[in-house]
Amino acid sequence: MPAPPALLVGPGGPQRERISELLREAGLEVTVLSESDALARRELPPARLLVLAHRGSRTDREAAQVRLLSHPALHGVPLLVVGPETDVESYGGALARGAAAYVSSDAGPGELHDLALRLVRAADRRTASLAGRPARPERRRTRRPLLLKVEVEDRRGGARLAGHIVDVGLSGCRLELGTSLARGTPVGLQLHAYRESTGIVLAGSVRWTRPDE
């Protein structure tokens, strides 16, 4: 099976080289470009993951996000942002401007591997689920996979489980958890930024479960 292609964008230097090497260790085929090179090209290499490694200020990084995601060749590609901060504002700002996930540049190899592969798998599942539906050429799909850290409280059994919200719709949200919960289980969802709680708690119940995912 060919390695999933990833596009890494950012200024040259040790950080970009480290991120590139970690993505390759995760099994991805990585193309590396500066932001100016990426934006200057009408066509870009096919990518199932876009990674922005930006060591500048949060304002500059968020502006770079917007510029990259406006490129027609990157519509619908999940974006992983790598930045130096771990505060709630940096995490929330990245997601608010179209990123699927944010991770600190100080994160360990395992965390970056996990995030990158989760985003690729989520995008692949979404593509597969749409494969049998009639094409709608009048609308261009730009929705990207979401990867939001969450702590799930099992309000029936008292357990707390770490996981991710991977999709949100009008009828609810889809979670990835290491342990399955039975249908009808009342839960509380504590949303987190990179390492801090956002202070947001949602209440709900389990409607369906898919242990194989």
Among residues 72, 98, 130, the one where a domain terminates is: 130
Q: What confidence score (pLDDT) does residue 135 get? A: 46
Indicate the number of domains in the chain: 2
pLDDT digits (tens, 9 = 90+) for 111-143: 999 999 989 988 887 777 666 655 444 444 445
**Structure confidence by residue, pLDDT tens digits, 11-21:** 999 999 999 99
Q: What is the CATH number of the domain that holds 38?
A: 3.40.50.280
CA dist 140 → 65, 124, 187 (Å): 20, 17, 35
**Does residue 152 share a domain with residue 110?**
no
Q: Same domain, yes or no, for 122 and 200?
A: no
Q: Please indicate, yes or no, whether residues 29 and 120 belong to a single structural domain of this protein.
A: yes
Do residues 162 and 107 share a domain? Answer: no
SS3 4: coil
**Contact (CB, 8 A) for 112 and 153:** no
Q: Which domain holds residue 13?
A: 5-130
Say if residue 16 is in the same domain as residue 121. yes
User: In what helix (H) or strand (E) does residue 153 lie, and over which residues does it extend?
Assistant: strand 148-154
- The reply to whether 53 and 25 lie within a common domain is yes
pLDDT tens-digit profile of 28-81? 999 999 999 999 999 999 999 999 999 889 999 999 999 999 999 998 899 999
Q: What is the pTM of this model?
A: 0.73
pLDDT for 170 beyond 90:
no
Higher pLDDT, 185 or 135: 185
Assign 213 a pLDDT band (cuts: 50, 70, 90).
Answer: very low
pLDDT in tens, 72-106: 999 889 999 999 988 888 888 898 899 999 999 98
DSSP code per residue over 11-37: -SSHHHHHHHHHHHHTT-EEEEE-HHH
pLDDT-derived band at 156 (thresholds 50, 70, 90) equals confident
Please tell me whether residues 114 and 14 are part of one structural domain.
yes
